[in-house]
Structure 1
Amino acid sequence: MNIPFLSNSVSIPEFILWIVYVVTVIGTLLVVVSENRNPIRTLAWVLVLVFLPAVGIVFFYFFGQNNRKKKAVSINYKKLSKDISFEGLFDKHPPKVQPNYETLSVLLERNSNALLLQGSRVEVITHGHRKFELLLEDIEKASHHIHMEYFIFQNDMTGKKIKEALMRKAAEGVEVRFLYDNVANTRVPPSFYKEMRRAGVIVSPFLKVFLPWLRSKVNYRNHRKVVVIDGKIGYIGGMNVGDTYAMSPIWRDTHLRIEGKGVYGLQANFLLDWYSSGEKKVDNYVSYFPYCPNYSNNLLQIVPGGPDSAWPNLLQATVRLVILAKHYLYIQTPYFLPTDSLFQALISAALAGVDVRLMVSRKSDSSYVDPAAKSYYAELLRAGLKIYEHQQDFIHAKTIVSDDYLSVIGSANMDFRSFESNFEINCYLYDTEIARKNKAVFLEDMKGCSEILLDEWEQRPWWKKMIESVMRLFAPLF
């Protein structure tokens, strides 16, 4: 049967499908607009839905929903953390953060429940072989528990070596808990985890979902890299587990080995992630927070961020520390897709005379992110910010160092995904000696870089500028 006032080729079922399709597109557009997001992000979704409506609806379902407001990813850290108390573990009168950075530490305590932890021994690790050498040694010495949480844990030589060490310790009676992102590791066969479970390792995926590729939560990835051993030694940073991170000659990453009270923050975060993954709470949790002596006078905060938090806390902290910088601010990131607030903060700092330097790779491992990132360069260069591209190494490190005092090392990239969608974790270190080490690492990496100069940059072909501008429109969706 045909509809008289339409073409004879249009049937009632086709007409109904068309109406449903149009209503769905319009309804999705209204949802996007009504959420009062950042106008740039809203515009990006509107463009996708208008020009590619069918694809746009699917992408919005998987990647566009604002679960911070909807609480679709519901991990109530405040409720869970009531069971985890640090009372009695700290000195009564700990040293304070330098006055210029006190507001940053207060911000992180209020928006992230991140306590100041004092007196840790910290090693800055810049080569994968060193990290895994130390990690294997610490695993072998474990006597009570090993807690491990990784975004990527590859089924290769390095992954198998760590896996075998965990299985050995589990067989010895050490409690071994292993948490992994079940989307990022879909290529790892189920037998990999079954073998671990048979050996006594307690294995759990983060955000368990059935058929993960068909669920909207696929966009919310656990990008954290955390290890806690006996509650006294911890690891945090940018390195996953795999041959790429351990042996690649062109992969430059940064990680931390922490010994002392700073591990309490890593432990608390792991246990909260463990509970949120559906696993039962550990018995006698106090035993997972053993007494640790003071090894130094440094202060640090372990800060988790994710779509479950009330605020985009890692973004807030990054903007705040850019504002606080007085002399210099050195940044390394594999992907540079700043939010508008961060972009303007960087420009303001450079215009104010702060020596702001950004280091990225000449070519990252993402062909669509690179042109979008380059679209930001011209305005930053005009403001006086210096941009360095490493010509050979892939800079996977996520670091910030400022004014010979503040260092930030963790899992969060300087992009929309890390600030808004991923579960991330950073360490904020307040210490002159550590900051100078991180500054030295940055300056050493500069030897392999070429500086981008404004006059030369503005002479690049018009078609490159156009591609960069178009890709920038979709940067909030990457």
Structure 2
Amino acid sequence: MQLFLSITSIIITLNTFFAIITVFREKRDIAATWAWLVVLIFLPVVGFVFYLFVGNKLSRKKIFDIKAQESIGMYELVQAQKEMLADDEDLLSSKQASENAKEMASLFLESDESILTKGNKIQLFTDGAEKYESLIADMYNAKHHIHLIYYIFKDDKIGRRVLTALEDRAAAGIEVLVIYDALGSRSLKFNFFKKLESLGGCAESFFGSSHSLINLRFNYRNHRKIVIIDGKIGYTGGFNVGDEYLGEYKKFGYWRDTHMKIEGNAVLPLQSRFLMDWNATVTNYKLEYQENYFPLIKKQGKTNMQIVSSGPDSEIQQIKKGYIKMISMAKESIFIQTPYFVPDDSLLETLEIAVMSGIDVKIMIPNKPDHPFIYRATTYYAAEMIAAGAEVYIYDNGFLHAKTIVIDGEICSIGTANFDVRSFKLNFEVNAFIYDPEVAKQQRDIFYNDIEKSYLLTQEMLDNQSKWLKFKQVFSRLFSPIL
């Protein structure tokens, strides 16, 4: 027994020592540091295996490889845009944008070098079938190129329809390039894109590995959903490629998401984003600036917007800062829709200040989890916001996957980033920040329409939850910095 206790003591001491060395060898925020210490100390061996796959940060070399792509197309785009707008009114004229919008535009120009584009036309989609009918039709009309990124691409009915359209265009000599995330699209067979590639197209997995079980970078995912057609039409938002996004999975029911089609010069930053991601993904087929990738487009509508990217290659957390700026500027209302509500301390405090200042804060989350652990953390933070005075609605007509925020019916954001730590720090994301009261009010009306299919989560409901459920929520919240 004495020998057993001695060996156990040595193991615990060594485990604690290596846990401290492992966690502190890389720069992290305090919350994430403590969360990883808990995992490594209280789960000996198992915790280190988990850390090996999930906790490792991107290597300096990989971060450099990603950052090195950031100049492609942007210098030419900025210079051409300056010439085009030389005799035009300010991008944010007093007729359309307030001082708030101007401050937002300045923030993203400084933090993400995100150019501000005007005269865009936007079409919003909240139904998967409508989005894919529009997308597939536009792909069949492509004349020069189709560039596509999806976190999830499945081999099912809608996946094969999209693939067939890509194959058709590749056979016609159109440049077809596809990036799919290695983890999100892990169900794909290795030969799924074989015919497309035989026709001249190319498909690459982001941060993939020939040995997927030992892929040590799977914690850093390309969560973006981007399609660019001829540099003139762009799609981005929450929908991935799979039948579940058409509401055909009984587990989720109707899939309620928000996506948009963009026509205008805001497509060009999406194009640049694709080129960066492509060149960071492939090793033997690098893309360079081409005028056909960046055709300057005449005014299509009247929407001003910026395309903003964020990811683990930057410490700035551009999209999170945009959310904080929007929330802090709100004077009347803040409406948030997200499947995962796991804010860090800065966002949580900003929202609580808004509520205490008399701002109407409404948050909508799903009625069911697609990731149970994260959902328990979501319900924990929902309870925090209710205690602060916000209204939290549970969408009860299927699964809510939309990632939107709108303030004062004036400015809104639609994109791929969830309202959680993972989207802000670990995933590669892209959002559109839109400075058009008409689009913002349309998004607000969509929120009100969804309220008709939701129920209000009350303090009484929370008080009546079982002790076991409350424990799971508190326990999940402890690990929110590393979810």
Deviation at 1:284, TM superposition (A): 5.2
- Give the residue type in structure 2 aligned to 1:233: I
CA distance change for structure 1 residues 99 and 78 in 2, over 3 Å: closer, same or farther?
farther
Alpha-carbon separation, structure 1, partners of 2:307 and 2:355: 28
1:414-433 correspondence to structure 2 within 5 Å = 414-433=419-438
Alpha-carbon separation, structure 1, partners of 2:12 and 2:63: 28
Alpha-carbon separation, structure 2, partners of 1:101 and 1:82: 27
Alpha-carbon separation, structure 1, partners of 2:263 and 2:139: 14
- 2:104 aligned partner: 104
CA distance change for structure 1 residues 282 and 463 in 2, over 3 Å: closer, same or farther?
closer
Alpha-carbon separation, structure 2, partners of 1:34 and 1:139: 47
Deviation at 1:245, TM superposition (A): 1.1
1:276-315 correspondence to structure 2 within 5 Å = 276-278=280-282, 279-282=284-287, 285-315=290-320
* Contact 2:342–2:480 (Cα < 8 Å) also in 1: yes
CA distance change for structure 1 residues 198 and 36 in 2, over 3 Å: closer, same or farther?
closer
- 1:352 aligned partner: 357
Q: Which secondary structure state, in structure 1, belongs to the residue aligned with residue 234 of structure 2?
A: strand
Alpha-carbon separation, structure 2, partners of 1:179 and 1:377: 35
1:110-142 CA-to-partner distances (Å, cap 9, x unmatched) read 221211011111001111111111111101111
Alpha-carbon separation, structure 2, partners of 1:79 and 1:228: 18
* Contact 1:122–1:258 (Cα < 8 Å) also in 2: yes
- 2:326 aligned partner: 321
* Contact 1:145–1:176 (Cα < 8 Å) also in 2: yes
Alpha-carbon separation, structure 2, partners of 1:215 and 1:169: 33
- Give the residue type in structure 2 aligned to 1:43: W
* Contact 1:101–1:324 (Cα < 8 Å) also in 2: no
Structure 2 residue 49 is matched with structure 1 residue 44: no
* Contact 1:335–1:364 (Cα < 8 Å) also in 2: no
Alpha-carbon separation, structure 2, partners of 1:216 and 1:188: 19
- 2:257 aligned partner: 253
- 1:28 aligned partner: 19
Alpha-carbon separation, structure 2, partners of 1:351 and 1:378: 16
Deviation at 1:297, TM superposition (A): 2.6
1:91 to 70, 81, 85: 85
Alpha-carbon separation, structure 2, partners of 1:172 and 1:67: 39
- Give the residue type in structure 2 aligned to 1:258: I
Structure 2 residue 69 is matched with structure 1 residue 64: no
Deviation at 1:379, TM superposition (A): 2.7
Q: Which secondary structure state, in structure 2, belongs to the residue aligned with residue 429 of structure 1?
A: strand
Alpha-carbon separation, structure 2, partners of 1:80 and 1:104: 21
Deviation at 1:364, TM superposition (A): 2.0
Structure 2 residue 120 is matched with structure 1 residue 124: no
Alpha-carbon separation, structure 2, partners of 1:410 and 1:276: 21
Deviation at 1:67, TM superposition (A): 3.4
CA distance change for structure 1 residues 191 and 18 in 2, over 3 Å: closer, same or farther?
farther
1:149-178 CA-to-partner distances (Å, cap 9, x unmatched) read 111111001110110111111111111111
**Structure 2, gaps ≥5 residues long:** none
Q: Which secondary structure state, in structure 2, belongs to the residue aligned with residue 368 of structure 1?
A: helix
1:367-401 CA-to-partner distances (Å, cap 9, x unmatched) read 22222222223331122111000123210111111
Higher mean alpha-carbon deviation, 427-436 vs 462-471, is at 462-471
Normalized against structure 1, the TM-score is what?
A: 0.92
Deviation at 1:103, TM superposition (A): 2.2
* Contact 1:235–1:256 (Cα < 8 Å) also in 2: yes
1:276-331 CA-to-partner distances (Å, cap 9, x unmatched) read 11253335512211121112232111111110123122222111211111111100
CA RMSD, aligned part only? 2.3
How many residue pairs end up in the alignment? 468
* Contact 2:72–2:276 (Cα < 8 Å) also in 1: no
Alpha-carbon separation, structure 2, partners of 1:302 and 1:417: 20
- Give the residue type in structure 1 aligned to 2:17: I
State the percentage of identical aligned residues.
34
Alpha-carbon separation, structure 2, partners of 1:261 and 1:354: 34
Alpha-carbon separation, structure 2, partners of 1:204 and 1:212: 14
* Contact 1:207–1:276 (Cα < 8 Å) also in 2: no
CA distance change for structure 1 residues 95 and 51 in 2, over 3 Å: closer, same or farther?
same
- Give the residue type in structure 2 aligned to 1:151: Y
- 1:440 aligned partner: 445
- 1:401 aligned partner: 406
* Contact 1:75–1:308 (Cα < 8 Å) also in 2: no
CA distance change for structure 1 residues 280 and 205 in 2, over 3 Å: closer, same or farther?
same
* Contact 1:25–1:57 (Cα < 8 Å) also in 2: no
CA distance change for structure 1 residues 79 and 148 in 2, over 3 Å: closer, same or farther?
closer
Structure 2 residue 453 is matched with structure 1 residue 457: no
Structure 2 residue 383 is matched with structure 1 residue 378: yes
- 1:77 aligned partner: 67
Normalized against structure 2, the TM-score is what?
A: 0.91
**Structure 1, gaps ≥5 residues long:** 1-5
- 1:3 aligned partner: none
Alpha-carbon separation, structure 1, partners of 2:412 and 2:232: 21
- 1:210 aligned partner: 210
Alpha-carbon separation, structure 2, partners of 1:67 and 1:154: 27
